[in-house]
Amino acid sequence: MLCPKCGAPNDDNAWKCVQCQTILQAAPPSQPLHPETSGKAIASLILGFFFILLPASILAVVFGHLSYSEINRSAGRLKGRGMAIAGLILGYFGMALIPFLIIAAIAIPNLLRARIAANEASAIASLRTLNTAAITYSATYAKGFPLVLSELGPPAGNGAPDANAAGLIDEVLASGTKYGYVFTYTPGERDADGRVKTYAIHADPITSSTGQNHFFTDQTCVIRKERYDPANEQSPIWGN
């Protein structure tokens, strides 16, 4: 049967043109006038909402194509073309997204490890700077080693360095926090003249995502480390 409007070929028992949807003949008694929604189109749309999962994306595309073809061949007996198209779009989007998710799953841990390594290297360099600054401070001022970390920091404004702000380290390190690590300075015992003879500095990561190792140093300038707990003077020497 040829459609009188567009000339498209149709089955002899078709009641609606597959091309332009023109009514060709009255629907037979067994043919419902109100088309049913394709179950495959519904399945495609539902699976499409889970496009983040690769199996769901693939099934959404498969059911989308099956339902779309089925609806086109039904001569109006089935509907749901819009749901099939939506399922196809979501399914293909999910399939296209998978490579990016795989790349992200590989790249993010590598970036995190690189950041941790950089923070730990910075912490070791900061401890060396603090040791140098503490020794310089002790040789410059009569009080020996400083009482607090801020005494090694820069003076306020354009003031001249003194025992309260020696200007031996930058203000960031003097604050006690730098590149994911917290630096805790503790003065030790004093001699008969009141000079601070010893000190201890702990460098601990703020969280496990900013560092894995804990570090320790003192007036000996030896840097020690621990993997999971705060380091102390008995911990293994860093680099050994």
Tally of domains within the chain: 2
Half-sphere exposure of 76 (CA within 13 A, CB side): 22
Half-sphere exposure of 212 (CA within 13 A, CB side): 8
- Computed over every residue of the chain, the mean pLDDT equals 88
Q: What are phi and psi of 79, to 5 degrees?
A: -130, 175
pLDDT digits (tens, 9 = 90+) for 15-48: 778 788 887 775 554 555 577 888 888 888 888 8
- Whether residue 133 sits in one domain with residue 49: no
- pTM across the whole model: 0.62
Q: How many residues does the chain have?
A: 240
pLDDT at residue number 204: 97
Query: Is residue 108 in a domain?
Result: no
- Whether residue 98 sits in one domain with residue 126: no
Query: Is residue 83 in a domain?
Result: yes
- Whether residue 181 sits in one domain with residue 221: yes
Hunting for tokens 């629907």 — which residue is that?
A: 27
pLDDT at residue number 18: 79
Q: Which of 62, 79, 103 is the last residue of a domain?
A: 103
Query: Is residue 163 in a domain?
Result: yes
Nearest Cα to Cα of residue 40 among 69, 75, 18: 69
User: Domain limits at 48?
Assistant: 36-103
- Whether residue 160 sits in one domain with residue 136: yes
Q: Mean per-residue pLDDT for 47-53?
A: 81
pLDDT at residue number 218: 96
Q: Give the whole-angstrom CA distance, residue 211 versus residue 234.
A: 21
pLDDT digits (tens, 9 = 90+) for 97-147: 888 878 888 888 888 999 999 999 999 999 999 999 999 999 999 999 999
Share of the chain above pLDDT 90, in %: 48
- Whether residue 123 sits in one domain with residue 94: no
Query: Is residue 183 in a domain?
Result: yes
- Model confidence at 186, in pLDDT bands (50, 70, 90)? very high
Q: Give the whole-angstrom CA distance, residue 225 versus residue 206.
A: 16
Query: Is residue 145 in a domain?
Result: yes
Weakest-pLDDT range from 36-40, 50-54, 135-139, 209-213: 50-54
- Is the CB of residue 216 less than 8 Å from the CB of residue 224? yes
Nearest Cα to Cα of residue 58 among 87, 84, 99: 87
pLDDT at residue number 33: 53
Q: Which of 79, 103, 127 is the last residue of a domain?
A: 103
- Whether residue 174 sits in one domain with residue 91: no
- Is the CB of residue 40 less than 8 Å from the CB of residue 71? no
Query: Is residue 112 in a domain?
Result: no
pLDDT at residue number 158: 79
